[in-house]
Amino acid sequence: MYEQALKLKKLMEQKKPPTEFDKKVKVYCVASGKGGVGKTNLSVNLSLVLQNLGKNVLLIDGDLGLANIDVVTGLYPKYNLSHILTAGKSIQDVILDGPKGISILPGASGLYELANISSSELEILIKSFNSISSIFDIIIIDTGAGISKNVLSFIQSSHEVIVVTTPEPSAVTDAYALIKLAYKHCDTINVIINKADNYKEASFTMGKLAKAAKKFLNIDIRYLGFVLEDKTVLKANMEQTPFLIKYPNGLASKCLINITNKLLYGQEIHNEGTVTIEGWFKKLMSFIKTNVGAL
């Protein structure tokens, strides 16, 4: 953990020229209606591809469930954000050094416990985020399944949502319910069809979702692509290593690389972030406060 803090500190020193003082991050929230559709696996491996492409990624674990980022990466966190307030830890102590240079912020699902902190405590947390403001280009938030107040707050605080579904009809229905909630809050609704048998099945599934979104919500949703059902995902999970590292030439890895390229370069308008990391955190905490009594 000490080495961990040192590494982040080093990164902070390297990356803090005055011109980058107000560096902006782009925030993506990975969500699904139905559980177990592959959010955590896709979030971790998407973060790895983005980091490989030269972006500095902060992967946030916003899932209350058991099978979390730690299971996929083999990293078990010691601290979360509350320890900054209760145990005098710094944000560098909390953030884990993940594979291939990604950073992981664990236990953000516990933020609801912080909904009622005093304004001076909130200020301490905001300052903590400010201290890492020059580092990250992209935030990926892995959320829990369904539409809880936790997930709602993460969606509201993000620029874009990445909806994950499988071709299974019940998963598609739940994905639509999520899109219905998210489209009012985010600039872009992206969709990934996971565990598809083939290209045709994925396109058909996406077609159904896109048609419903157009007809009932009058919005266009963006197809990022599909990930094939692939044994390497489960095998990599058993070995607690991301599939992109363990099986870089596997089908799932190849599909995910295509998806990431589309996410980054597939839009005409270059999609840069518009908030600083502490600005994003402030926004998230204000949504959390508002949503305490919601849903």
The answer to whether 227 contacts ligand ATP (rule: CB under 6 A) is: yes
Residue closer to ligand ATP, measured from CB, 37 or 163: 37
The partner in contact with residue 140, picked from Mg ion, ligand ATP, none with C-beta cut-offs of 5 to 8 angstroms by kind, is none
Is the distance from CB of 54 to CB of 168 less than 8 angstroms? no
Residue 85: Cβ-neighbour burial (10 angstroms; 0-12, 13-18, 19+): middle
Burial of 152-188, coded b for 16+ CB within 10 Å and e otherwise, reads bbbbbbbbbbbbbbbbeeebbebbbebbbbbbebbeb
What residues from 132 to 151 belong to the interface with ligand ATP (CB under 6 A)? 144-145
The partner in contact with residue 32, picked from Mg ion, ligand ATP, none with C-beta cut-offs of 5 to 8 angstroms by kind, is ligand ATP
Per DSSP, 31 falls in state: E
Residue closer to Mg ion, measured from CB, 63 or 93: 63
The answer to whether 194 contacts ligand ATP (rule: CB under 6 A) is: yes
Among 8, 25, 40, 97, binds Mg ion (CB under 5 A): 40
CA 242, distance to chain mean position in Å, is 15
The answer to whether 174 contacts ligand ATP (rule: CB under 6 A) is: no
Residue with tokens 């664990």: 106
The answer to whether 43 contacts Mg ion (rule: CB under 5 A) is: no
Residue closer to ligand ATP, measured from CB, 227 or 244: 227
The partner in contact with residue 145, picked from ligand ATP, Mg ion, none with C-beta cut-offs of 5 to 8 angstroms by kind, is ligand ATP
Is the distance from CB of 130 to CB of 278 less than 8 angstroms? yes
Nearby residues of 47 by Cβ (< 8 Å), 6 or more positions away: 57, 59, 98, 102, 138, 140
CB atoms within 10 A of CB 59: 29
What residues from 52 to 81 belong to the interface with ligand ATP (CB under 6 A)? 63, 65, 67
The answer to whether 82 contacts Mg ion (rule: CB under 5 A) is: no
Q: Which residues here bind ligand ATP, judged by CB under 6 A?
A: 32, 35-41, 63, 65, 67, 144-145, 194-195, 227, 229-230, 233-234, 237, 252
